[in-house]
Amino acid sequence: MGFDGMVQISAGGMSAQRFRLNVIASNLANQNTTRTPEGGPYRRRDVVFQATPPAPNEKTVGGPTNSNLHTMSVQVVEVITDPSPPVMKYQPDHPDADTDGYVAYPNINTFEEMVNMLSATRSYEANATIMKNAKEMADKTIDLLK
């Protein structure tokens, strides 16, 4: 795998984790949203990733990347909505209360979202480190060739 392949894979990973962080931030920001344009409370969202091969015409310093199975990248396939039921809280004075006085709140666990955020941040940092190391290796190779 050449320098371009390492950078492409790391950049794809960083982009996917950045998207995941945005979805997690949206979940946290809407954990008390009881009314949405779709109706009902906000529904927790999660990102689905998929490993993807590079395009057939892409090349790296070492030759075509599609001949090497280990040069897979990652992409966001879809954002799914959590099917779990909302959390019902008794608040008869709330404007969104039903006839029994219960309000439907999103089923979002703050601790779970924070763990997901830490995981995405660590994955992003790992990809950034790989990219930095690839750049340093390329710089040292250029220095050796001088």
Task: Give the pLDDT band (50/70/90) at residue 60.
Answer: very low
Asked if 89 and 114 touch (Cβ cutoff 8 Å), the reply is no
Return d(Cα 111, Cα 124) in angstroms, integer: 20
The pLDDT-based confidence of 58 (bands split at 50, 70, 90) is: low
Give the global pTM: 0.81
Q: Tens of pLDDT along 62-105?
A: 545 445 546 778 889 999 999 999 999 999 999 999 999 999 99
Domain ranges of the chain: 3-145
